[in-house]
Amino acid sequence: MNPPGKEIATPFHLRFWGVRGSIPVPGARYAGVGGNTSCVQVLSTGIGSPGSGEVVIFDAGSGIRQLGRDLVSRPNPPAVIHILFTHFHWDHVQGLPFFLPLYSPRTRLILYSAHPPEELRCVLAGQMRSPYFPVLFEQVGAKIEFRQISCSEPTQFGDLEIDAFPLHHPQGSVGFRLVHPLRTAVYATDHEHGDPGSQCGLLFKSRDADVLIYDAQYTPAEYPKRVGWGHSTWLEATQVARRADVKQLVLFHHDPEREDDAVQCIEDQAREEFAETLAAYEGLVL
């Protein structure tokens, strides 16, 4: 495990700050994997490294709180922060009010979703209204911009190209394909298998990826009682990885009931189906 404050001098990496689904979980039995909800940081040439001035982040679950503390502790905190939301369910937005750069007048915060900018603004402002939070979204110090990311045209962040695509999830969600000159990764959390259209798109976007981060909240035995809840299984994850010919599979969005030993057991079973499988944990850098 890489210490959260340690950077590595390589062209393209991902750092995991939150890997749980649904709700944060505290306690020693969850400490190895971590109890925070979804948040992944991109470390790329010119983006995310100390002194680069810019950071790209996927989702703002509770894991973004510690990421924010890390960013403001730097001698030269990034001036521009991009946050791309897969969707608006609470475990993907709940950490934003506790993200320290949100309150800094030196921060230019650019927020993206697949929805119109005004809808994104209303959603994020809504969770900070009275009586839910003591500071209104309109009162924060950062300079905030809202943008709609297209599922038909890639968006460029320095030497990193990010391509959004639809996933199968209640009220909608998107995945992201990240293309760097040296590596390709896919972030596909909050997706339920079984829908032909989105499944075909997922396979197409995942083709030959170096890293596939995939929703594996349920076991195959649990899934029949959770059909329609919007999540997949570790077994389906291995099948997607094999069919898409990816190099490494990362199991993500762990169920909040899943203790460390159980996550390890799932990783072991998944490796029997797809050898290059890893269960995500907080502090992981790939």
- The continuous run of DSSP H or E covering 99 comes out as none
pLDDT score for 46: 61
**What torsion do the CA atoms of 58, 62, 64, 66 make, to the nearest 10 degrees?**
-150
CATH class of the domain defined by 12-279: alpha beta
Nearest Cα to 50, choosing from 83, 11, 7? Answer: 7
H or E element at residue 131: none
Structure confidence by residue, pLDDT tens digits, 233-267: 999 999 999 999 999 999 999 999 999 999 999 99
pLDDT computed for residue 47 by the predictor:
66
Confirm if 126 and 88 have CB atoms less than 8 A apart: no
Q: What's the pLDDT at 250?
A: 98
pTM of the model: 0.93
pLDDT tens digit at each of 286 positions of the chain: 334 444 444 578 899 999 999 999 999 999 999 999 999 999 876 665 555 678 999 999 999 999 999 999 988 888 999 999 999 999 999 999 999 999 999 999 999 999 999 999 999 999 999 999 999 999 999 999 999 998 888 998 888 899 999 999 999 899 999 999 889 999 999 999 988 888 999 999 999 999 999 999 999 999 999 998 889 999 999 999 999 999 999 999 999 999 999 999 999 999 999 999 999 999 999 9
In this prediction, residue 4 carries a pLDDT of 43
Contact at 8 Å (CB) between 231 and 239? no
Q: Which residue has the tokens 């697949």?
A: 114
Q: What is the pLDDT of residue 228?
A: 87
- In 3D space, the residue among 54, 73, 83 whose CA is nearest the CA of residue 5 turns out to be 73
The crossing angle, in degrees rounded to 10, of helices 234-244 and 260-273 is 40
How confident is the model at residue 41, as a pLDDT?
A: 96
